[in-house]
Chain A
Amino acid sequence: MGDTKWVDPVAPADAAARRRKRRKRKTRPRCQPKRRPRARADSLYAVDSKRRRRKAKRRVCQKKRRKPVRRVPLQPVPPPPAPPSGGGAAPEFRLSSPVATWSGAFGVREAERLLWRAGFGPSPGHAQALAGMGLHRAVAALTRPEGGQTFTGAAPTDGDGNPLAPEDAWGHDHLWFLDRMVRTDQPLVERMTLIWHDWFATSNDGVGQQNLMLAQNELFRRHWLGSFDQLVHDVTADPAMIVWLNLDQNTRWNPNENYARELMELFTLGADRGAYTETDVRELARALTGWDNDWSGELGYHNFRFVQNRHDASAKTVFGQTGAFGWEQAAAMCVRHPLHASFFVEKLWSYFIPVPPPDGDRAALEQLYVQSGWQVRPVVEAILLHPLLHEGPRMVKPPVVFLAGMLRALRRAIDTEAWTWLCEGAGQVLFHPPDVSGWDDSRWLDTSTVRGRWELVGYALAGRELEDEAITGYDISETPETALALARAAWGDPQLTGETAAVLTAFAEACVAGSLANWQRRQYRGLRQNALRHLLYFSPDLQTS
């Protein structure tokens, strides 16, 4: 975000201010992607793809809700990563960091948290394998994987057994990215892609072309821990971004400030820090003039290019420097601005650790970042090794991270389109951030999205619940403790706090209390097992890491 406070942190209300701002910011459908849900032919509004999608979603929702879900066979999941050097023996392997590193125990609990913060949680056995490597090897396994990604398990399908059509079908872009999170053996690659998607938040609500969105996603993936300088450069020439923030309409005749402002405010410098003035916004917009594209009914926007005649070649004064700057200088000047490194380090840190870095550590990381030539990897490694990640407070998992982790734990492939609208209810649809400032990490949970998460867990379990004879013939003597142990095992034995275990155990006792007939004693214990699995993964313990 970037908005208000660098200097004086804070304000949840303010933070949330970013949220909805440009909700439908580019309402016009620059070109409508083919959508699976039938578009309303009677819609008065040529625009508003969002509204239309909401309607579509509701229809799907009513149709599919509570329908019995197909039973899904277990899918294999990625094996635990191997340490980068191939062997596990050398205990002195250390990554370098200019700041403090965690020196306490690195057990299963710590490995679980690392996998949630830098990925999508453990698949069964994953945390145990990582714990055996020690902290530095575990971090290196995430940040320095060898070779390309491997995707293990069944390919994603749409619920009818068809392969996804991520460039064409509505919601399949979301499923496509979600599937990568679930099946990858290099989770940090996908997590960084998600982070850049949030950082340079671009929404298909304004772009209207999933092919451009997916191309941008690959750009983020390519740069995952590379040079931020190069990333900003490439984003400025990215077709989805050019459409999203009107760079294609920013001409020497009619400058459009949209990209110039957000480049500084949200991507590189932050608002209200004294980094730039309103005049800088207008001058930078002139430096960024010149992009153009073509449009056709068949291809949508295509042939993105820089056209010299549309560019304002005269002198501009930006950050006190004067020159005939073009778009490449504009991008580079923002990254080289003296207030950029502090913005970058704070923001990157905030994706992994919910408390600010100590002042000295922040300064050291800024120095590391600038001296490395704006490389992301060393900064991320230092953050992942930092004691505050391992012993600091919990963070709420973003909804798609929560869901991807749940599917990893269940060994469940993407086998339904429902995840798209269910994620909307939980507050996060990929390729549709609420506005250009991205999702608001401080407000993931409220009375609406908490219910959305309840539904996510319910749908993840649907098709796997006990039913029929499994319920009527359930073990009549099962104790509450055994019931809870079974429910934990169904999720790969995640860690629970004592308070949560106590609530679940008390529930397990209460639902079979009183005088019951024998058939009730069996049936209620069967229902209890279904309920425990739902409650357990929904619990605040599992909503956070």
Chain B
Amino acid sequence: MANCGCTEYSRAGRGLPAIEPGMPLPAGTGLTRRSFLSRASGLAMSVYGAASLGPKAFEAGIAAAAAQSAEPRILVSVFLSGGVDSLTVLAPTGHSRYGSLRPALAMPADQGIPFAEDASLRWHPSVASLATLHDEGKLTVFPAVGYDDPNQSHFTSRHYWEVGEVNPSGRWGWLGRFLDRHGAPDNPLQGLTLGWELQPSLAARQVPVATVSRPDQYDFWSPGVWGPVHDQMLEAFGQLGEAATGDAGLRYARAQVTATSTLRSQLEPFQSGYSTPAGVTYPDAELGRRLAALSAMIEGGLPLRVVAVETGGYDTHSNQAQTLAPDLDEVTRSLLAFQRDLEARGLADRVLVHVWSEFGRRPEENGSGTDHGAAGVGFVIGSRASGEMVGSFPGLLDSQLDGADNLRATSDFRGAYRALLEQWLEVDAGEIIPGASSFPAPTLVRP
């Protein structure tokens, strides 16, 4: 429902976000049927089989896969919403104030898993999957990432991370701006939200982006309609979005209908399901299921470029000891399974995962939980990740915390974005992140 008006301003006053109307359906392709089948081995052989699909669906699948002939690198953004407690993930057991700041929540110094890059920190047992990835050199750690003058509102701080600048009135996501400059005008899958609603980091001004919960659940059934009339109906579905209009609200609704129609044709080949390589097991949880689908979609040749997924529950004002560890365990096991899945499919060199949260939590606990803090923990995961810590742990002494008794940032999220854009997506970060050159870019990608 409505909010403060601010969102309404953008809608009416400055044109609508997201997709423009009149967007063409995916163009045909030079790919032959044979090359399509050979590329999409495994999954595709069983899913795209001509026997189980009509020729129309097959053509749509080819068109979708074709949009991506160069097999570009893919960046996956995983947002841990609520503000994850970095002092649980990497417990500063070697710092003298840790115990007094966290009388109830501190992890004893003999528990957890040593962190090779800083002996004063130890991984919490619930994030053992991260320790494994780190040992393999596939995990880059930001022990205290943030920005100067941190904002402790979930909404504001998350917004800064999403628009890639400390600017309350930024309107487009940083990944959306990347797509505006380097994406295609007709491919919603280039910016994919895995979830029920668009991740704002993908909000693009000019090009279409997509939201889908699972690719095998994207059919359009209608009671008492089938056969050729249903085919015609789906064409009319797309046409309902195409007409131009001067009404901003109607324009927005029509653009979304068109994007949905385009995505429907792209995902048509997945309607009979997807498979996961033998030996790879995801936790039975939403994030795991989504990452499993993502891996199949990448192998299936769908034209993905940047992907965003959110997993929540980290606003642990209370009962942190009971709730946080199970969530961390599930999420980090899902991330490890995704890496193993990509390795099994031979795709690991093409995918990099960035994990972030809007802020860390206050070092001093509030009784059974922790309140909003400032700098927090972040990661880059992948076979091509540098594996080297970015910035150091800032310390917990009075003189080391900021004026609000929160952790100080030792790296800036905009520097991380700059590095991801330059080193992974291989584009000019200055065109996407305002003032990018003023933030040092850490080495995030192994050459």
Interface on A for B, CB 8 Å cutoff? 1-6, 8-28, 44-48, 51, 54, 66, 69, 194-195, 198, 246, 249, 251, 253-258, 261, 265, 270-272, 278, 281, 343, 346-347, 349-356, 392-396, 398, 424-425, 427, 434-435, 437-443, 445-451, 454-455, 458, 461-463, 465-467, 471, 497, 499-500, 502-504, 506-507, 510-511, 524, 526-528, 530-531, 534-535, 538-541, 543-544
Contact = CB atoms under 8 A, between A and B. Distances in A.
B224 A530 contact: yes
B14 A10 contact: yes
Contacts of A26: 315, 317-318
B276 to A, nearest CB: 18
Interface stretch (B63-71, B137-145, B163-171): B163-171
Contacts of A355: 8-9, 12-13
Nearest to B368: A249
A271 B156 CA distance: 8
Given A15-B7, A467-B224, A500 B240 contact: yes
A445 B4 contact: no
Contacts of B317: 25-26, 246, 249, 256-258
Nearest to B242: A503
Contacts of A255: 366
Given A441-B8, A446-B193, A449-B197, 19 more contacts: A5-B168, A8-B168, A12-B7, A12-B17, A13-B170, A13-B176, A195-B2, A272-B153, A281-B152, A347-B5, A352-B2, A356-B8, A442-B10, A442-B17, A446-B211, A448-B195, A455-B221, A507-B232, A540-B241
A272 B156 contact: yes
Interface string B268-293: 00000000000000000110000000
Contacts of A12: 7, 10-11, 17, 171-172, 200, 203
Contacts of A256: 317-318, 366-367, 369, 371
Contacts of A249: 317-318, 367-369
B411 interface: no
A178 to B, nearest CB: 15
Contacts of B193: 446, 448
Given A22-B81, A442-B11, A396 B2 contact: no
Interface in B297-356: 310, 312-313, 315, 317-319, 322-323, 326-327, 330
B439 interface: no
Contact of A253 (B247, B250, B327, B367): B367
A21 B6 contact: no
Task: Say what secondary structure dominates the interface of chain A.
Answer: loop
Nearest to B196: A448
Nearest to B285: A51
Nearest to B237: A535
B119 interface: no
A351 B253 contact: no
Given A1-B4, A13-B159, A354-B12, A394 B367 contact: no
B252 interface: yes
B240 A393 contact: no
8 contacts: A258-B371, A350-B5, A354-B11, A354-B248, A438-B1, A447-B211, A526-B224, A531-B230
Contacts of B195: 448
A2 B197 contact: no
Contact of B253 (A257, A424, A524, A543): A543
Q: Which 6 A-B pairs have the closest CB atoms?
A: A24-B313, A23-B312, A465-B224, A394-B249, A254-B367, A442-B7
B220 A454 contact: yes
B372 interface: yes
Contacts of A28: 318-319, 322-323
B312 A458 contact: no
A19 B243 CA distance: 30
B253 A22 contact: no
Contact of B3 (A15, A450, A507): A15
Interface in B90-145: none
A424 B286 CA distance: 15
B19 to A, nearest CB: 9
A466 B196 CA distance: 32
A19 B3 CA distance: 11
B376 interface: no
Interface in B215-236: 218, 220-230, 232-233, 235-236
A447 B366 contact: no
A198 B82 contact: no
B196 A278 contact: no
Nearest to B9: A9
A439 to B, nearest CB: 5
Given A3-B155, A47-B323, A393-B249, A11 B10 contact: yes
B263 interface: yes
Contacts of B228: 511, 524
Contacts of B369: 249, 256
B263 to A, nearest CB: 5
Contacts of B404: 278
Nearest to A346: B5
